[in-house]
Structure 1
Amino acid sequence: MTQNWGMTIPFYDRSLARSRELIEELPELGYTDAWSAEVNGVDGFTPLALAAQWAPGLRLGSAIVPVSTRGPGLLAMSAATLADLAPGRFTLGIGASSPAIVERWNAGTFDKPYARTRDTLRFLRRALAGEKVSETYETFQVQGFRLERAPKTPPKIVLAALRPRMLRLAAEEADGAITNWLSPQDVRKVRAEIGPGTELIARLFVCVSENVDQVREMGRRMLAGYLTVPVYAAFHDWLGRGDVLRPMHEAWAAGDRQAALKALPDEVVDALIVHGDAATCRARIQEYVDNGLDTPVLAPIPGGEIPIDQAVRELAPTR
């Protein structure tokens, strides 16, 4: 079994304020990592700052912080703060995100996502190393920025990457790649793009439940919201699911959400969401690892027969 076994924080069934005890328990359960996310709930940094104090043995990572919702300097400051709180244990995960998050929710500009991610990565490498940065990049310009207190141990930087161009950037210039919504078999195709030496991280949505119909109903709602986003639609086209997902995309584009949900096949839900009893789920997660995933980051979702805290314990690698 991989030595990395991550958990998403905070948990889906509770606020960050109510997450302390379970986060404190993660290291003794065998979890090695805690990874945040940033969509429309908590921000990507605050949970990690608290976890740095609550569970000092964990590696902490953001999966991911968008590169277009903060200025480059502010992003460097936030990363430096976490690197100071958890020296050698913080990994900064950044990515292009999506037009909905960047433009509709944050009044930013979602333009040249690949170039913006590449430019931000290159800026952060220099800034977090303590350099004074004056540079004109393709997507932004920085004049005379230097961190007041650069971290003694600069954090590793990993990229959200779904398709070959971004995956190759992650392998060539970053410290790893983060992916999402894929099956164990899909891991092999992703791994082939980055080679054996690049860390591959993926968030895996897990429902500890043997009620297959209920899981599939819930899974369809989750997946339809993601797989209709252009970047994920393109990802699954690349993975070979274009034909099977076409009816869902057509119904969604026509505004018929119920038809879109019905058009999402059972086999796609079963491929992309880990479900079953806890032992079955752990075995499924191990399939991802066996196919080349270095760091599974579990995201237990509500709806199963057991509460989230029990699922966190039963999914632990020490079980």
Structure 2
Amino acid sequence: MSMRWGMTVPLSGVPLAEHAAVFRGLADAGFTDVWSSEVNGTDAFTPLTLAAAWESRLKLGTAITPVFTRGPGLLAMTAAALAETAPGRFQFGIGASSPVVVGDWNAVDFTEPFARSRDVLRFLKSALAGETIDEQYPSFTVRRFRLERPPAVPPQLLLAALRPQMLRLAAAEADGVILNWLSATDVATALAETKEAGPGFEVAARIFVIPTEDADYARAVGRRMITSYLTVPAYAAFHRWLGRSEILDPMWLAWKAGDRKGALAAIPDSLVDELIVHGTPDECRTRVEAYARAGVTVPVMALMPTPELERGGAAALGELITALGR
């Protein structure tokens, strides 16, 4: 079973300036990794830079940094700076992201996501190795770029992937893959497409965790999350590929018709319980361990707010981190 144990940062309700105690608490509890995302909260790199400075015991990773919202050179420079700050501790996860994040929020055309992901991955492998790049890739062109400060220990490059084409690309050309929005029983289906990966291939997975015994609350939150994510075309196609068309068709039809309440009501408890980890801290930890047994080498929890955390504040959060640790 995986000896890695990750948490998504920053944690909700805690200012970045107060995360030194969070990082220390995570390391003390047995967490080995902190991973950041980049949607509409913090950027992917600032929380990890703070973690690098404040807690030397933690490995760092992005899951993910979009390949569209920064130019290739800037992606390489930012990754190189963090790799230099935390030598040997940083894994750089990249991915296509979504039309909303890329197009609606960052005013960039979301076109040919597979090609862009593939080409950025290839560019970064060369750039972070200190090579000069003067190349016309299928999706962009870079002229005479070379990092002034290539990292002595280049970061591993992980690629976010949902379906076979991207999963196979990750296996063929990346150091690992990042999975998202799947159950522990889905992991084998995804990893069947990565059989050509070399030794040491990392498999990170973001796992949404709602640590509360109030199942009604957890399922209500889970339903809202499912309608937010699984109506996005890429995630809808992913779950069709996983075999969930029949169970999700009623939700998709209601959503398409503009019936938001109907879409929520169409999601059965069983699906929420498959995709969202909830329960006591012990139950949540056991559920996350199931992902590791299925082949995930870096399970990464993403904590959702709960009434208990809102009532208990920093003390409750500290106790929860300890209870979820290893």
Q: The TM-score by the shorter chain falls in which range?
A: over 0.9
Give how far 1:156 is off. Answer: 0.5
In structure 2, relative to structure 1, the CA distance for the partners of 1:309 and 1:181 (3 Å cut) is farther
| 2:322 match | 313
Instruction: State the alpha-carbon separation in 1 of the partners of residues 105 and 178 from structure 2.
Output: 23
Give the counterpart of 1:271 among 270, 274, 283.
Answer: 274
| 2:213 match | 210
Instruction: State the alpha-carbon separation in 2 of the partners of residues 69 and 23 from structure 1.
Output: 28
| 2:296 match | 293
| 2:190 match | 190
Question: How high is the TM-score relative to the length of structure 1?
Answer: 0.97
Aligned 8 A contact 1:300 1:308 in 2: no
In structure 2, relative to structure 1, the CA distance for the partners of 1:181 and 1:275 (3 Å cut) is same
| 1:40 match | 40
| 2:260 match | 257
Moved more, 159-168 or 15-24: 15-24
In structure 2, relative to structure 1, the CA distance for the partners of 1:304 and 1:181 (3 Å cut) is farther
Give the counterpart of 1:219 among 222, 228, 231.
Answer: 222
Give how far 1:181 is off. Answer: 1.1
**1:127-182 Cα deviation digits (max 9, x unpaired):** 11111100000000000001111111111000010111101111110000001111
- Secondary structure at the counterpart of residue 208 of structure 2: strand
Aligned 8 A contact 1:49 1:82 in 2: yes
Aligned 8 A contact 1:95 1:161 in 2: yes
The one-letter amino acid of 1:156's match is: Q
| 1:103 match | 103
The one-letter amino acid of 1:136's match is: Q
Instruction: State the alpha-carbon separation in 2 of the partners of residues 199 and 304 from structure 1.
Output: 35
Instruction: State the alpha-carbon separation in 1 of the partners of residues 185 and 103 from structure 2.
Output: 34
Give how far 1:304 is off. Answer: 4.8
- Secondary structure at the counterpart of residue 305 of structure 1: helix
| 2:7 match | 7
Instruction: State the alpha-carbon separation in 1 of the partners of residues 319 and 193 from structure 2.
Output: 37
| 2:284 match | 281
Give how far 1:283 is off. Answer: 1.0
Instruction: State the alpha-carbon separation in 1 of the partners of residues 233 and 318 from structure 2.
Output: 34
Moved more, 148-157 or 194-203: 194-203
**1:270-307 Cα deviation digits (max 9, x unpaired):** 00111111111111111111111111001111115354
Give how far 1:245 is off. Answer: 0.4
Same amino acid, percent of matched pairs:
55
- Secondary structure at the counterpart of residue 233 of structure 1: helix
Displaced runs of 4 or more, over 6 A: none
- Structure 1: gaps of 5 or more residues: none
In structure 2, relative to structure 1, the CA distance for the partners of 1:230 and 1:300 (3 Å cut) is same
Give how far 1:101 is off. Answer: 0.5
Instruction: State the alpha-carbon separation in 2 of the partners of residues 300 and 94 from structure 1.
Output: 21
2:167 counterpart of 1:158:
no
Give how far 1:308 is off. Answer: 3.4
Aligned 8 A contact 2:188 2:295 in 1: yes
Aligned 8 A contact 1:36 1:47 in 2: yes
- Secondary structure at the counterpart of residue 308 of structure 2: coil
Give how far 1:186 is off. Answer: 0.4
Moved more, 302-311 or 15-24: 302-311
The one-letter amino acid of 2:281's match is: A
What is the number of equivalent residue pairs in this alignment? 317
The one-letter amino acid of 1:203's match is: R
- Secondary structure at the counterpart of residue 149 of structure 2: coil
> What is the RMSD computed on CA atoms of the aligned residues?
1.1
In structure 2, relative to structure 1, the CA distance for the partners of 1:181 and 1:309 (3 Å cut) is farther
2:129 counterpart of 1:129:
yes
- Secondary structure at the counterpart of residue 143 of structure 1: strand
Aligned 8 A contact 2:25 2:321 in 1: no
2:241 counterpart of 1:232:
no
2:21 counterpart of 1:31:
no
Give the counterpart of 1:200 among 198, 203, 228.
Answer: 203
**1:221-277 Cα deviation digits (max 9, x unpaired):** 111100101111011111111111011111111111111111111111000111111
Instruction: State the alpha-carbon separation in 1 of the partners of residues 278 and 56 from structure 2.
Output: 30
Question: How high is the TM-score relative to the length of structure 2?
Answer: 0.95
| 2:112 match | 112
Aligned 8 A contact 1:4 1:295 in 2: yes
- Secondary structure at the counterpart of residue 278 of structure 2: strand
